[in-house]
Structure 1
């Protein structure tokens, strides 16, 4: 088995530096501090073969690679270095642990400087769509893993994910700890094949849950890395539907950030391998939303039709990650797509219908739906019910700890300015400013 490249070599090559060029930059970084470094090509080569640089040299290396000094942690060299050239760990038979490690390090070191381009995400989706599932990598050594420990983590993770929305804001540290433990077991344990499969399933589901937590907090780079890590685990398991779901989450994030070209590309690749009707319904619905945002009317309407058909074909036995998909989601997202396409009346009707169907337990989704309702009322030049819906959404978002929903309301505030004397609008503006 070919050994993965050393993180220093990866970072160096990402910046198109030879070993000589990196050595020169290290010496220059030392001179900027009024110091000297004897780094040359031979020393860089030794570092890339496992020799640990001293503490000062590690800070020079960060300068040379244009990395922020506050991520340097000399005691854990080379783990503070990025593991990828573009933020995306390539899929492969031994890629799950590196992808999980990259996600955990990104969160720990706040590596928001490592932005992931839309092109890199689309390429990852294409690689997943074209590739075959790799056999689960087996550890050659390490301590055995008791399946009772895995059962305990599974049950705990299930309970944490099943908490009421308002309580989930308090679970981030626990989920991170579970995922770290699972990563350690995959990397250093020697589990039986069935236990290893369960560990990959845990890694995928925990990564997805943590990613949504980071996304709701606006930490987009961290969210991307966790979704990518989950995709690696799903690919190792051979779970194509879960892999498609994780790709669709990355697409949802891209669309949220108005990168609809990337979102559409990712979703198109995800649809090539998704099989379960509920999974395909969700993918088509998200594709419809991003196509409508680009004013591609006919493809968007075709995607909405496909989403409706697949949802009607879906049984109650659904993958856990899309078990929540319902008529309420279909109605509201269809309405939002139609709103983007200019069909205001029908859009308003569907959004109202969908919101009425939403179960009480889905408070975060209700907050998002309320902002859609507010937007649909504004499109009808009806500011009073729009203000009522936006106010309800903002209060709900603050109660359950959902900054993403609060940001949706804030994005609507400029549209309320022409109606600042209408009933409820001054109160909304005052609440948003508080």
Structure 2
């Protein structure tokens, strides 16, 4: 096969900003998380891309995980057709970009089973998008033009705002059952933005609603492991927030994209996005959250000075006085989150004892209403109990996290517990471990 012809795997890989060595490392990491070994190296990746060699079924499952493709969509018999067609691009910010970005996100969901229509977003493209937003001289404004559609009634907007707020603030345990309603609300709002005639104040309300709904839908997709869809919705929300002139909400959506990049073991992309997002974020609580996520990304890269500088900024900003209310999207952010994520930073930097103390402290501070976060915190605690040689405590925390995740319908948390199981292999006779293993395999 000609090296100049782009194989679908080459396109998808480069869309993530990975060379063959980095891609092979990610595949070996996917195997390691399952307690297994993969011998994939850059030469093997080249054989797949250039020589037309078909990866075995297990390797294809690892490839799918690295590319963010749900396991059920990885069909070895259909190689390479199940791979995402990744062009690495995003719709540029502009006065007419909001509706196309929303449509692209919704189309991605509708075409979920048709992988060739789904485009992953390269890390470099996300950093470029963040930079374009950060360097914008003024907020975006609507292009004043006559439209053929009907005038948007404020009563309709108020109804959508009220019902959307109830849906987006619903407890995770219940929100899993109303996800289609969130999608439907976002579709309705997108249609009003695209087809209706409205004053600028009404348009700003619609854009704010679309940004909020896009963010909630994106997190739902993220929790289900649908990473391509999640990124598309976050990007669409960014366009809405930018068009509406809401800097802090735009920064929030960039921060969520950075969180996803860190989750997918791409902290360099995460830090690049966050550094640009912080340049225009205003509210202290919002800046605190972004600094904390930046600290996590820097710690994952082993950058001690940058990590501690970001942690200090996050702590200072969290307590800073401000005459404006805390933005709704970060109203949940608290000392509990600061403690736990600080602990995770220290864990990445090798200070497991102090990390253990901070994570335990953060878990104790977490309010009862935040079940999904509690599940993640319990998982972090299980990891750290293993780090300090307390497998019985780790099993107890892991089991509690698993049961909680199953009850509230949080598949991301369930998967995290499953990925931790190989670390319990040497402790099968330890108290609590057999029950955890039985629950995971049930």
- Both structures adopt the same fold (TM-score exceeding 0.5): yes
What range describes the TM-score normalised by the shorter chain of this pair? 0.7 to 0.9
1:159-308 alignment runs, 5 A limit: 159-308=166-315
TM-score between the two structures when normalised by the length of structure 2: 0.78
Note the alpha carbon deviations across 1:99-128, whole angstroms, 9 max, x for none.
Answer: 000000001111654211111111111111
1:134 pairs with 2:136: no
Greater alpha carbon shift after TM alignment, 369-378 vs 405-414: 405-414
For residues 319 and 187 of structure 2, the distance between their equivalents in structure 1, rounded to whole angstroms, comes to 39
1:330 pairs with 2:332: no
1:68-107 alignment runs, 5 A limit: 86-107=88-109
| Aligned equivalent of 1:431 | 439
For residues 274 and 134 of structure 1, the distance between their equivalents in structure 2, rounded to whole angstroms, comes to 16
1:114 aligns with one of 108, 115, 119: 119
Contact 1:139–1:187, Cα closer than 8 Å, also in 2: no
How far apart are 1:419 and its partner, in Å?
1.4
For residues 209 and 401 of structure 2, the distance between their equivalents in structure 1, rounded to whole angstroms, comes to 33
For residues 284 and 265 of structure 1, the distance between their equivalents in structure 2, rounded to whole angstroms, comes to 12
1:386 pairs with 2:394: yes
Greater alpha carbon shift after TM alignment, 315-324 vs 374-383: 315-324
SS in 2 for 1:279: helix
How far apart are 1:139 and its partner, in Å?
4.7
How far apart are 1:314 and its partner, in Å?
4.9
User: Larger C-alpha radius of gyration, 1 or 2?
Assistant: 1
SS in 2 for 1:143: coil
Q: Residues 248 and 146 of structure 1: is their aligned pair in 2 closer, same or farther, counting only changes over 3 Å? A: same
TM-score between the two structures when normalised by the length of structure 1: 0.80
How far apart are 1:138 and its partner, in Å?
3.8
SS in 1 for 2:319: helix
For residues 68 and 415 of structure 1, the distance between their equivalents in structure 2, rounded to whole angstroms, comes to 35
For residues 287 and 322 of structure 1, the distance between their equivalents in structure 2, rounded to whole angstroms, comes to 16
How far apart are 1:85 and its partner, in Å?
5.2
Contact 1:250–1:263, Cα closer than 8 Å, also in 2: yes
1:369 pairs with 2:371: no
For residues 276 and 266 of structure 1, the distance between their equivalents in structure 2, rounded to whole angstroms, comes to 18
Contact 1:134–1:235, Cα closer than 8 Å, also in 2: yes
1:349 aligns with one of 345, 350, 357: 357
1:415 aligns with one of 410, 423, 427: 423
List alignment gaps of at least 5 residues for structure 2.
Answer: 1-10, 12-79
Note the alpha carbon deviations across 1:11-36, whole angstroms, 9 max, x for none.
Answer: xxx9xxxxxxxxxxxxxxxxxxxxxx
1:140-155 alignment runs, 5 A limit: 140-141=146-147, 142-155=149-162
How far apart are 1:290 and its partner, in Å?
1.0
How far apart are 1:87 and its partner, in Å?
4.3
Contact 2:372–2:408, Cα closer than 8 Å, also in 1: yes
| Aligned equivalent of 1:320 | 328
For residues 68 and 425 of structure 1, the distance between their equivalents in structure 2, rounded to whole angstroms, comes to 41
Number of residue-to-residue matches in the alignment: 360
How far apart are 1:137 and its partner, in Å?
2.9
| Aligned equivalent of 2:411 | 403
Greater alpha carbon shift after TM alignment, 211-220 vs 293-302: 293-302
Question: Following TM superposition, where does structure 1 have runs of at least 4 consecutive aligned residues deviating by more than 3 angstroms?
Answer: 84-87
Contact 2:360–2:381, Cα closer than 8 Å, also in 1: yes
For residues 68 and 428 of structure 1, the distance between their equivalents in structure 2, rounded to whole angstroms, comes to 38
Contact 2:87–2:119, Cα closer than 8 Å, also in 1: no
How far apart are 1:68 and its partner, in Å?
6.7
Contact 2:87–2:120, Cα closer than 8 Å, also in 1: no
| Aligned equivalent of 1:11 | none
Contact 2:252–2:286, Cα closer than 8 Å, also in 1: yes
Contact 1:139–1:189, Cα closer than 8 Å, also in 2: no
List alignment gaps of at least 5 residues for structure 1.
Answer: 1-13, 15-66, 72-81
